[in-house]
């Protein structure tokens, strides 16, 4: 089946001839992005939502401009693949270029969450199909045949008699044609490029050490700066003595603004040294909290009668009163640092006539608007250039580190790059919130789940539940509520916000409930899903059949329940529009339980780039496992106690189990994969460890729990 897709005048704008001839088409890369296109520096049309374009030059080179920040999610490779697929381009001749980053062109650029793929899928396809249609029409004119008789492949339009014309040879003629209003999209069955392994387009630059990242930005005359921020949340500066710091070589200035003391100098090492002799005294300016306070608070909040009700179905009280068995368990997770490998940094140059900002951000527009507001200047006078991002994990959605650089540049009246040390990164900025959950389940005499309660309490976590997620819909009597504690400790989105821990707690809990119900954990989940389908309770956000399909695929690929010498643990979670089920396998090796393998089955619809998709799943599992095992930031009197990788442990090479990645093949339009593979991992691992040792894990990080003693990791990865 071929799909006819209508394009409107607003969908495409033909930019006509490029400098050396050829075809240039602009299109909108994503709903979240708006832009004004121009050529030769002149605005073509105001308020036109175009943010990307593709060009075909007479020498057959297809150039696809990518406007989105790339932080390892593979967008710069995967998105152009979709355009190239519908265009029938020769991938070897496709060049992907980070689009000129200029706020005059790109009014609102944003990369956030796993939402880009579902938003852009059809737009990207239509862009490629439109260019292809125009090239076909150009060839039809030359050959004087009906366009419908022509086909395309590998960058050529093909005549029924086998004669070929290359796209480059047709591009200039095509540019003279009207943009079609209706184009044919391929049947996904005919995809040649989508679904294959395509290496990252930036590999060569990355493996040869080219300057790509924000920290790699240098400019003649630029100053370097580091900022001493309050080491404890809830404190402010009392006094600053910068005499010794200022006297050191290479130090240009020491500037105090707000709660910051900036050391400005000529080189990174010189300012790092000056920081050691900088004397700043702080005093309390609010709640100065410790982890021990939060531990106590969580227990109080879990018992508090009033809470924000997120979902209420049926009569929970009666269900629990009538229950044959009640299971009640609590789970707690600590704060986490985002800790992307590239520490925060940004270049700013505030000039009389405008502001130049250059660096790694997921939200350049937010950075620009925040800077405009702070400095009291028009946003149009601020340009933001994007570098590649050395990881983000949500940290670079925030603009604090950009605005700070701009403020400093204004104060010192000079171009400056502000670099955060790793310690700055872990002691400030923002964290994944600490959360504690209480789950309660009511079972009747035959093991049916008749009641379910979840309370989430967190520190600056907002709604720490996901009330319309599984098992909501499958339980007649259900109550989900939450309480949030406001704290000076700043938190923010951390890869798979909330679900990065909620999924572990829920899936570990359901494993216990299944056992109490005397059911196999996989069958228990399938039965609940059948119940949600046959007798649904309330609205749900997940697709029951898709959830079942990943459960069944993971069970099949792992040989669930058939491996006698292995302890298997199961977990499944829906987040960010995709479904992932995982089976963790623990083997007893000379008396020790060893985490050997994690098998994942994902449903993200059509897989665009098989290499990138497998990376996202494997990487998500490693990330989820590593943080479940080791990750924690604790606070003492408002100050983070873990400040670098010596005591904030990240998972390493020899601790990683084998990972096997499978995808459900269902032809559904694709959804994102940057986050969904992370949430299920902790639960699968905890459930496998229980199967092997009889011990349940309730708190993260696992490695600090008594129950983990003796468990070995990553043998023969």
Partner 1 sequence: MAAYSINVNGETKKVDVASDTPLLWVLRDSLGLVGTKYGCGIAQCGACTVHLNGTAVRSCALPISAIGTSKVTTIEGLSKEGDHPVQQAWQEVDVPQCGYCQAGQIMSAAALLAKNAKPTEEQIATAMNGNICRCGTYHRIKEAVVLASSKMK
Per-position x/- string for 125-144, each x denoting binding to partner 1 as judged by CB under 8 A, each - no binding: --------------------
- Determine if 387 is a binding residue for partner 1 (CB under 8 A): no
Residues in the chain: 717
Choose, by CB under 8 A, the member of 283, 644, 666, 669 that binds partner 1.
644
- Name the residue nearer to partner 1 (CB basis): 214 or 230: 214
- In 3D, which of 107, 105, 124 has the Cα closest to residue 37? 105
Q: Cα separations (Å) of 386 from 338, 356, 485?
A: 20, 11, 35
CA distance 265 to 222: 10
- Determine if 270 is a binding residue for partner 1 (CB under 8 A): yes
Q: What is the DSSP string of 249-275?
A: TTEEEEEEETTEEEEEESSHHHHHHHH
CB of 269 to partner 1, least distance (A): 4
- Name the residue nearer to partner 1 (CB basis): 38 or 611: 611
Choose, by CB under 8 A, the member of 4, 8, 146, 209 that binds partner 1.
209
- Determine if 389 is a binding residue for partner 1 (CB under 8 A): yes
- Determine if 249 is a binding residue for partner 1 (CB under 8 A): yes
Choose, by CB under 8 A, the member of 118, 364, 390, 428 that binds partner 1.
390
Choose, by CB under 8 A, the member of 3, 308, 318, 654 that binds partner 1.
654
Q: Are 23 and 39 in contact, with CB atoms under 8 Å apart?
A: no
- Determine if 703 is a binding residue for partner 1 (CB under 8 A): no
Q: Which of residues 580-619 bind partner 1 (CB under 8 A)?
A: 611, 615, 618-619
Q: Which residues contact 278 (CB under 8 A, 6 or more apart)?
A: 228, 240, 241, 242, 244, 245, 254, 261, 263
CA distance 178 to 380: 33
Q: Are 651 and 630 in contact, with CB atoms under 8 Å apart?
A: yes
Task: Tell me the window of 2-10, 163-171, 202-210, 378-386 that interacts with partner 1 (CB under 8 A).
Answer: 202-210
- Determine if 641 is a binding residue for partner 1 (CB under 8 A): no
Task: Tell me the window of 60-68, 81-89, 576-584, 638-646 that interacts with partner 1 (CB under 8 A).
Answer: 638-646
Q: Are 458 and 432 in contact, with CB atoms under 8 Å apart?
A: no
CA distance 387 to 70: 8
Supply the angle between the helices 116-143 and 167-175 in degrees, to the nearest 10. 90
CA distance 650 to 633: 12
CB of 651 to partner 1, least distance (A): 7
- Determine if 650 is a binding residue for partner 1 (CB under 8 A): yes
Task: Tell me the window of 153-161, 379-387, 388-396, 444-452 that interacts with partner 1 (CB under 8 A).
Answer: 388-396
- Within 10 angstroms of residue 272's Cβ, the number of other Cβ atoms is 15
Task: Tell me the window of 15-23, 47-55, 639-647, 662-670 that interacts with partner 1 (CB under 8 A).
Answer: 639-647
- Name the residue nearer to partner 1 (CB basis): 147 or 244: 244
SS3 label, residue 347: strand
- Determine if 626 is a binding residue for partner 1 (CB under 8 A): yes
The CA-based dihedral angle spanning residues 403, 409, 415, 417, taken in that order and rounded to the nearest 10 degrees: -50
- Name the residue nearer to partner 1 (CB basis): 36 or 656: 656
- Determine if 415 is a binding residue for partner 1 (CB under 8 A): no
SS3 label, residue 33: coil
Strands 658-663 and 592-603: parallel
- Determine if 670 is a binding residue for partner 1 (CB under 8 A): no
- Determine if 388 is a binding residue for partner 1 (CB under 8 A): yes
- Determine if 78 is a binding residue for partner 1 (CB under 8 A): no
201's enclosing H/E stretch is none
- Determine if 342 is a binding residue for partner 1 (CB under 8 A): yes
Residues that bind partner 1 (CB under 8 A): 71-74, 197, 199-200, 202-204, 206-213, 215-216, 218, 224, 249, 267-270, 272-273, 339-343, 388-393, 419, 421-422, 611, 615, 618-623, 626, 644-646, 650-654, 656, 658-659, 716-717
């Amino acid at each position: 089946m071929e799909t006819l897709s209508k394009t409107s005048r607003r969908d495409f704008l033909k930019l006509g001839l490029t400098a050396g001839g050829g075809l240039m088409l602009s299109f909108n890369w994503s709903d979240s992005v708006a832009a004004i296109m121009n050529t030769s520096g002149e605005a073509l049309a105001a308020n036109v939502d175009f943010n990307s374009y593709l060009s075909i030059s007479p020498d057959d080179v297809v150039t696809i401009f990518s406007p989105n920040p790339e932080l390892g999610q593979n967008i710069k490779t995967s998105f152009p693949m979709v355009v190239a697929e519908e265009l029938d381009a020769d991938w070897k001749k496709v060049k992907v270029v980070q689009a000129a980053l200029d706020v005059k062109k790109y009014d609102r650029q944003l990369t956030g969450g796993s939402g880009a793929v579902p938003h852009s899928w059809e737009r990207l396809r239509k862009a490629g199909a439109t260019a292809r249609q125009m090239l076909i029409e150009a060839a039809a004119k030359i050959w004087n045949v009906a366009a419908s008789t022509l086909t395309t492949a590998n960058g050529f339009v093909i005549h029924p008699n086998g004669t070929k014309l290359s796209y480059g040879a047709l591009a200039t003629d095509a540019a003279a044609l009207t943009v079609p209003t209706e184009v044919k999209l391929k049947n996904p069955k005919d995809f040649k490029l989508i679904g294959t392994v395509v290496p990252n387009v930036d590999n060569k630059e990355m493996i040869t050490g080219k300057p790509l990242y924000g920290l790699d930005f240098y400019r003649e005359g630029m100053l370097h700066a580091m900022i001493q921020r309050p080491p404890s949340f809830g404190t402010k500066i009392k006094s600053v003595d910068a005499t010794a710091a200022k006297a050191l070589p290479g130090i240009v200035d020491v500037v105090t603004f707000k709660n910051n003391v900036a050391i400005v100098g000529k080189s990174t090492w010189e300012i790092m040294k000056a920081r050691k002799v900088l004397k700043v005294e702080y005093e309390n300016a609010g709640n100065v909290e410790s982890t021990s306070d939060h531990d106590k608070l969580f227990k109080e909040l879990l018992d508090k009668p009033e809470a924000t009700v997120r979902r209420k179905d049926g009569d929970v009280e009666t269900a629990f009163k009538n229950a044959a068995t009640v299971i009640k368990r609590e789970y707690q997770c600590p704060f986490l640092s985002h800790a992307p490998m590239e520490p925060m940094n940004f270049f700013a140059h505030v000039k009389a006539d405008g502001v130049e900002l250059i660096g790694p951000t997921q939200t350049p527009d937010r950075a620009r608007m925040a800077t405009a507001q702070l400095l009291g200047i028009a946003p149009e006078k601020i340009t933001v250039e994007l570098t590649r991002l050395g990881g983000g994990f949500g940290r670079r959605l925030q603009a604090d580190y950009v605005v700070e650089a701009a403020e400093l540049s204004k104060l010192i009246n000079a171009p400056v790059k502000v670099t955060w040390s790793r310690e700055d990164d872990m002691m400030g900025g923002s964290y994944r919130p600490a959360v504690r959950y209480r789950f309660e389940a009511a079972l009747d005499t035959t093991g049916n789940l008749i009641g379910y309660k979840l309370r989430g309490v967190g520190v600056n976590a907002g709604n720490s539940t996901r009330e319309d997620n599984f098992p909501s819909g499958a339980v007649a009597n259900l109550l989900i509520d939450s309480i949030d504690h406001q704290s000076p400790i700043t938190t923010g989105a951390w890869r798979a916000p909330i679900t990065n821990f909620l999924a572990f707690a829920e899936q570990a809990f359901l494993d216990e409930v299944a056992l109490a119900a005397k059911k196999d954990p996989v069958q228990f989940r399938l039965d609940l899903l059948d119940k949600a389908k046959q007798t649904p309770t309330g609205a749900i956000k997940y697709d029951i059949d898709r959830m079942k399909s990943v459960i069944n695929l993971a069970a099949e690929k792992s040989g669930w329940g058939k491996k006698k010498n292995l302890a298997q643990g199961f977990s499944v979670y829906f987040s960010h529009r995709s479904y992932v089920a995982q089976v963790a396998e623990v083997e007893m090796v000379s008396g020790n339980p060893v985490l050997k393998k994690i098998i994942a089955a994902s449903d993200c619809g059509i897989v665009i780039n098989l290499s990138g998709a497998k990376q996202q799943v494997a990487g998500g599992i490693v990330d989820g496992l590593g943080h479940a095992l080791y990750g924690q930031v604790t606070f003492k009197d408002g100050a983070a106690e873990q400040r670098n990788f010596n005591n904030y442990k990240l998972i390493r090479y020899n601790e990683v189990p084998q990972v096997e990645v499978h995808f459900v093949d269902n032809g559904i339009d694709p959804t994102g994969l940057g986050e969904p593979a992370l949430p299920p991992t902790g639960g699968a691992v905890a459930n496998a460890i229980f199967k092997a040792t009889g011990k349940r894990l309730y708190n993260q990080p696992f490695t600090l729990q008594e129950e983990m003693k003796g468990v070995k990791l990553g043998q023969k990865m």
